[in-house]
Amino acid sequence: MSRWIIPLLLGFVALPCSAERVVDKPTGVSFEHPFDQYLIEDMSQGRALVRMYATPDHAQRVIIMSLPSAAAPEGMDSRRTAIARLGGPDYVEHRYEPATLAGLPAHALEYSAQGLRVLEVGAMRGAALLIVQVAAPEPVWEDPDQAAEYRAIPDTVRFEGEAAPEAAPIAPDLSTPEEVRAEWPARAAPSWRIAHHEVRVRLDPGAGSAAVEDDLTIEALEDGVGAIEVVTSVVTDVRFTHEGTDLPTVTTNGQHASQRHEVTLPQALDRGDTVTLRYTAHAQDYFQNVPNQTVAEVSVLGQVREHSSYTSHVLYYPVDDGNDATATLGVTVPEGYVVAAGGEPVSVTEDEDGTVTCRFENTLSVPRLLPFAWAVARYVVRSATTSSGMRISWYGYEGEDALLDQRLEVALQAAETFEAMMGPLPWGRVAFAHVTPEEREMGVSTPGLILVSDGFFGDFGDLDLTGRSVNDPEVLNALVVVDELSHQWNAYAVALPNEFAEGVATFLDLLWLRDQAGEETYRSGMAELTQAYVQSRALGQDVPVASPRVYQSPMYRTIAFAKVAVVLDMLMQYLGEDAFFEAWSGAFSALIGARPTYDEFFQALSDGAGENLTWFEEQWLLRAGLPQIRAEARDGELILEQVQPQDVFVLPNLPVRVVTPDGRIRDLNLRMDQRVIVTALEGDLRGAEVIVDPAKYLLVEQVFE
């Protein structure tokens, strides 16, 4: 859940402080600040420019923001409302008053939240809201001299050049469902597969190194297979052998430090034939980081370090396109270290050289987005079992006993909820491990193993979430556990399309939170997701959820995480909760071990619901946008018109409230399946206020122009 609002790191560089004025060219602003050393981070998204100048520990910072006016339609008033909503339970507003910014009329907002005191001064400059934010821990502001120095930073702002002209309107995406389906990559039938891995990894945390062996079994799926192509990353000195003889291998570089290896087999295989190859490789420094706009909470994909070693995305052993092999994983570490991994633990052996080898069996052939992961540290472990027999283990550092107990309780609660909704997992164990990446944070779910870093490891408090906000930091810490656990079902037991799985996880997060905190908190969370999606449409082109282009969109997060969750809530409202959950659990049961397309998943839902839901899939997931409705009350009739550029959205149950000038209220529930609908109502309605979806249950936008 916290990932909805995590900023995106594009890159940073440490610079010495200079007596010269700092000029931020992207925003056209210059200013002065007191930092001796600082980093520059660009967190921009589409048309929203966000530039941060921070001390190396990020504790003190100046952020320059240039936001499209559509993202803050009421200027700093909109910003003030958003900050209050997201600030959490300890949010305190100290002042909000008129000010100036480089000679422009402005407003100054000063507040405290989550241990920081923040000053924001914002003004409209051309078609954008320009905000200068100064933030530091509360104790820094208690020093009068430092506080005065910080409050003076906005006064040093100057504009460099003319304000940027108003940007051209964003062209709407008018793709049809048929066109989006045509974008999906074709599923080519493979001629071979890796059927099984016997992976052995030897780690030296003190040196940061890793040595890898894998006996991989190749199975031919058609006649005449003479070569295979596999992918690795980070490792070097790659060799493929058969019975001690090197196999001819052609290696080419790929994306993200990966390598593709075309390996000639010792002899051609016919359908059903198998052969076992030996793979060896080494990493002198096992470390990979990929700053990524789309997945900001995943920066270090793997590391071997003395305090914390782990791997999530690194292809340390050869992987084929299907990535559905069974495996035995053995990890050898110095004595005193503990290994966490997915699969079933089968043995721990003490070796003569003072090392320990831990072996895990993965006996299920299911599609995997990621390779087999592991985490290594001097862990303490807490374990428990759900009512169905699934075992959950938490691996944490010494002194984290209370935090581990909290997380174990939340994981058990969530697992019970998910088992009731989606059935038991096809594997009987899920492990969580606390990791400490060298850079930024880590929160990722891999098959059977979930990695969570320091930033997501705060105290949950008393675990009584009744009536608490979805933005409460303790609630967010709990939701990280719930969110990543849900991916065991929606990304691995059933390998849904990744962007869809992210939104499914957000939906499941809020369903769990509803059980813990009540309907009001659930509805508040859904309303915030709707607002986030609607406002983000000012940042760039809105594209269909199911289009591969979603990964290039600055709206990726609000489309995948927010829109999908709200759409699933609407489907639950449409079917009714009992029918929805029956269809939902039936779909997951039918698709265990599969990698379904959107069409295949919604066909399974339709089978369970006893109703064809293709129309719902197509209008909400295979088309961009949302219904934008203009409403007007006249004498004796109510007129509703969909004015969005996309085709008509079918709204089977559209709530509308009419408030007459004398205060009378009429609540209506209408079916809207065409551009304009006219509803006859008794009485003179001229001057009445019309509110579309007054409870904010639907993904609709009421427009007034």
As for how many domains the chain has, the answer is: 4
Tell me the pLDDT band of 257, cut-offs 50, 70 and 90. Answer: confident
Task: Give per-residue pLDDT as tens, 658-682.
Answer: 998 888 899 999 999 999 999 998 8
| CATH label of the domain that carries residue 602 | 1.10.390.10
How many angstroms separate the CA atoms of 411 and 468, rounded?
19
- In the DSSP assignment, the letter for residue 298 is -
How many angstroms separate the CA atoms of 351 and 338, rounded?
14
Report the candidate in 385, 382, 383, 408 with the shortest Cα–Cα distance to residue 397: 382
Is 290 contained in some domain?
A: yes
Range of the domain at 602: 479-621
Is 166 contained in some domain?
A: no
* pLDDT surpasses 80 at 89: no
Task: Give per-residue pLDDT as tens, 378-388.
Answer: 999 999 999 99
| CATH label of the domain that carries residue 196 | 2.60.40.1730
Report the percent of the chain where pLDDT is more than 90: 70
How many angstroms separate the CA atoms of 465 and 102, rounded?
45
Tell me the residue type at 661: P
Is 681 contained in some domain?
A: yes
Same domain, 505 and 418: no
How many angstroms separate the CA atoms of 491 and 499, rounded?
10
Summarize the confidence of residues 21-33 as an average pLDDT: 88
- What does the block give as tokens for 407? 């997380």
**What is the separation, in whole angstroms, between the first and last Cα of the chain?**
34
Torsion of CA 569, 570, 571, 577, to 10 degrees: 60
Beta-carbon contacts of residue 244 (< 8 Å; ≥ 6 apart): none
What pLDDT shows up at residue 88?
65
Tell me the pLDDT band of 495, cut-offs 50, 70 and 90. Answer: very high
* pLDDT surpasses 90 at 573: yes
How many angstroms separate the CA atoms of 307 and 36, rounded?
30
Tell me the pLDDT band of 684, cut-offs 50, 70 and 90. Answer: confident
Bridge partners of 129? Answer: 67, 124
Contact assessment for residue 432 and residue 445, using Cβ atoms and an 8 Å cutoff: no
* pLDDT surpasses 90 at 701: yes
Same domain, 673 and 592: no
How many angstroms separate the CA atoms of 444 and 484, rounded?
6
What pLDDT shows up at residue 18?
42
Q: CB neighbours (10 Å) of residue 29?
A: 24
Q: Report strand pairing: 37-42 vs 29-31.
A: unpaired
- In 153-297, DSSP assigns E strands to 158-159, 192-204, 209-220, 225-233, 236-242, 245-246, 249-253, 258-269, 274-283, 287-289
Tell me the pLDDT band of 464, cut-offs 50, 70 and 90. Answer: confident
Is 523 contained in some domain?
A: yes
Local structure of 577: helix, strand or coil: helix
* pLDDT surpasses 90 at 76: yes
Same domain, 417 and 514: no
Tell me the pLDDT band of 408, cut-offs 50, 70 and 90. Answer: very high
How many angstroms separate the CA atoms of 491 and 433, rounded?
19
Is 185 contained in some domain?
A: no
Tell me the pLDDT band of 163, cut-offs 50, 70 and 90. Answer: low
- In the DSSP assignment, the letter for residue 613 is -
Tell me the pLDDT band of 279, cut-offs 50, 70 and 90. Answer: very high
| CATH label of the domain that carries residue 69 | 3.40.1000.10
Local structure of 434: helix, strand or coil: strand
Summarize the confidence of residues 432-458 as an average pLDDT: 89
Summarize the confidence of residues 64-68 as an average pLDDT: 90
Same domain, 617 and 674: no
Beta-carbon contacts of residue 664 (< 8 Å; ≥ 6 apart): none
How many angstroms separate the CA atoms of 511 and 505, rounded?
10
| CATH label of the domain that carries residue 691 | 2.60.40.1840
Same domain, 374 and 429: yes
Q: What is the mean pLDDT of the chain?
A: 90
Same domain, 617 and 632: no
How many angstroms separate the CA atoms of 497 and 505, rounded?
12
Summarize the confidence of residues 71-82 as an average pLDDT: 87
Tell me the residue type at 497: P
Which residue is it, tokens 């520059």? 40
How many angstroms separate the CA atoms of 310 and 192, rounded?
30
Same domain, 243 and 359: yes
Bridge partners of 227? Answer: 264
Which residue is it, tokens 């793997």? 302
Task: Give per-residue pLDDT as tens, 614-656.
Answer: 999 999 999 999 999 999 998 889 999 999 999 999 999 999 9
* pLDDT surpasses 70 at 164: no
What pLDDT shows up at residue 291?
58
Q: Classify residue 695 as exposed, middle or buried by CB count within 10 Å of its CB (0-12, 13-18, 19+).
A: exposed
How many angstroms separate the CA atoms of 517 and 469, rounded?
9
Is 464 contained in some domain?
A: no
* pLDDT surpasses 70 at 5: no
- What does the block give as tokens for 334? 């110095």
Same domain, 321 and 273: yes
Same domain, 446 and 495: no
Report the candidate in 661, 658, 684, 659 with the shortest Cα–Cα distance to residue 669: 658
Is 384 contained in some domain?
A: yes
Give the CA distances from residue 583 to residues 22, 85, 497, 604, in Å, rounded to whole numbers and listed in that order: 58, 35, 19, 8
Is 465 contained in some domain?
A: no
Tell me the pLDDT band of 294, cut-offs 50, 70 and 90. Answer: very low
Which residue among 621, 648, 663 closes a domain?
A: 621
Estimate to the nearest angstrom the gap between the alpha carbon of 307 and the chain centroid: 27
Bridge partners of 230? Answer: 261
Which residue among 565, 598, 621 closes a domain?
A: 621
Q: Report strand pairing: 326-334 vs 287-289.
A: unpaired
Torsion of CA 439, 444, 449, 451, to 10 degrees: 30
Same domain, 508 and 563: yes
Contact assessment for residue 293 and residue 255, using Cβ atoms and an 8 Å cutoff: no
Which residue among 159, 177, 205 closes a domain?
A: 159
* pLDDT surpasses 80 at 158: yes
Tell me the pLDDT band of 298, cut-offs 50, 70 and 90. Answer: low
- What does the block give as tokens for 147? 């506080």
Same domain, 579 and 528: yes
Half-sphere exposure of 57 (CA within 13 A, CB side): 5
How many angstroms separate the CA atoms of 210 and 555, rounded?
38
Same domain, 532 and 568: yes
How many angstroms separate the CA atoms of 608 and 584, rounded?
7
